[in-house]
Amino acid sequence: MVSSASRLTPPGTIVAAFFGFLVSTVGALAAAGFVLSARQEIVDAVRRANTRMTDDEVQKAATMGQALAVGVAVVIALFYLWLAFRLKAGRNWARVILTIVTLVQVASLFVTRGGSVAGYVACGVAVLATLLSYLPPSESYIKRKA
C-alpha cells in the first residue's frame, strides 16, 4: 500500500526551485563551455607561467586543462541535477547539499577573477532556487515527506 506521504504533490515553490536548479545547471555548463572558446587565452597563460615549455607542450597542457575543466563541470552538473530531483522528491538532505553547493558557487564568484555572464546568471538563479526551497510551502512539503 502506498502511503499518503509518498503521493504528495510538490508545491509551486519546490517546482520553481527544481526548475531554477535545472536552469542554473545549464548556465553553469554554458559557462564551462566558454573554456573551450578561450583556447588562445589558456595557451598564453600556460606559456607565461611556464617559459621553458616547448610550443607542443604548451598546446598539450592547454588541451588537458580544457578537457579537465569541462569534464569536472559535467560531473558536477550531473550531481547537481540528481540533487535537484531529490529536492523535488522532498529530500531535506538534498536541499542542504544544494544550499552548500550554492554558497560555494557564490563564494567562488568573489574569489575568482572575471567570471562569465553565464556564470553570474547561473549563480543568481541558484540563489533564488535555494531561497524558494526554504519558503513555508517548501518547508511544509519536506517535513511531510520525511
| pLDDT reported for residue 31 | 77
Phi-psi region at 53: left, alpha or beta (left = phi > 0; alpha = psi -120 to 50): beta
Q: What is the per-residue pLDDT across 41-82, written as a single tens digit (0 to 9) for each?
A: 889 989 998 888 899 999 999 999 899 988 988 998 999 999
Q: Which domain holds residue 81?
A: 11-145
| pLDDT reported for residue 37 | 85
Q: Specify the DSSP class assigned to residue 7.
A: G
| pLDDT reported for residue 1 | 46
Confirm whether 110 is domain-assigned: yes
Phi-psi region at 114: left, alpha or beta (left = phi > 0; alpha = psi -120 to 50): left
| pLDDT reported for residue 4 | 53
Confirm whether 24 is domain-assigned: yes
| pLDDT reported for residue 81 | 95
Low-confidence stretches of the chain (pLDDT beneath 50) = 1-2, 5
- How many domains does the structure of the chain reveal? 1
Confirm whether 30 is domain-assigned: yes
| pLDDT reported for residue 60 | 93
| pLDDT reported for residue 64 | 93
The single residue listed with the C-alpha cell 575568482 is: 112
Confirm whether 112 is domain-assigned: yes
Confirm whether 117 is domain-assigned: yes
Confirm whether 69 is domain-assigned: yes
| pLDDT reported for residue 80 | 92
Confirm whether 141 is domain-assigned: yes
Confirm whether 5 is domain-assigned: no
